[in-house]
């Protein structure tokens, strides 16, 4: 069972490290990362395995958006099913 963590914000040193550390602290195992920088804006999509979360999905989502606020990044966590529903028949 996966979740998608999307991160958007102004490019800066250490974004991946901070978001990864946030995931690790909650027991979310990163299985894929793709990222681009376009016009100074950083966009990253992480697929994380949430089967072994140490906290609830709700709390994980809240913690990641808190991290986003602290680091001036837009971080959202969404369950993968919404993407699977929309893009897979």
Partner 1 sequence: MLDARDILETLNMIREEKLDIRTITMGISLFDCQCDDPKKLCPRIYDRIMTKAKDLVFAGDEIQKKYGIPIINKRVSVTPIAMMLGGCSTDDALRVGKTLDRAAHELGINFIGGYSALVQKGFTNSSRTLISSIPQVLAETERVCSSVNVASTKAGINMDAVAEMGEIVKKTAALTADRQSIGCAKLVVFANVPEDNPFMAGAFHGIGEPECVINVGVSGPGVVASAIRRAGDCDLTTVAETIKRTAFKITRVGQLVAQEAAKMLDVPFGIVDLSLAPTPAVGDSVADILESIGLEKCGGHGTTAALAMLNDAVKKGGVMASSHVGGLSGAFIPVSEDAGMISSVECGALNLERLEAMTAVCSVGLDMIAIPGDTPAEVISGIIADEIAIGVVNTKTTAVRVIPAVGCKAGDRVSFGGLLGSAPVMEINRFSPVKMISRGGRIPAPIQSLKN
Query: What is the binding site for partner 1 (CB under 8 A)?
Result: 2, 4, 6, 32, 34, 43, 45, 47, 57-58, 61, 76-87
Shortest spacing between CB 14 and partner 1, in angstroms: 22
User: What is the smallest separation between the CB atom of 60 and partner 1, expressed in angstroms?
Assistant: 10
Please identify, using beta-carbon distances, which residue of 18 and 50 lies nearer to partner 1.
50
Q: Which residues of 4-20 are buried (b: 16+ CB within 10 A; e: fewer)?
A: bbbbebeeeeebeebbb
Quote the CA–CA distance of 14 and 54 in Å, as a whole number: 24
């Amino acid at each position: 069972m996966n979740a998608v963590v999307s991160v958007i914000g102004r490019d800066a040193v250490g974004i991946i490290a901070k978001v990864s550390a946030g995931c690790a602290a909650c027991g979310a195992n990163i299985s894929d990362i793709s990222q681009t920088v376009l016009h100074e804006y950083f966009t990253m999509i992480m697929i994380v395995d949430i089967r072994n979360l140490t906290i609830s999905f709700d709390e994980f989502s809240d913690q990641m958006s808190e991290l986003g606020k602290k680091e001036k990044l837009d971080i959202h966590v969404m369950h993968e099913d919404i993407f699977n529903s929309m893009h897979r028949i």
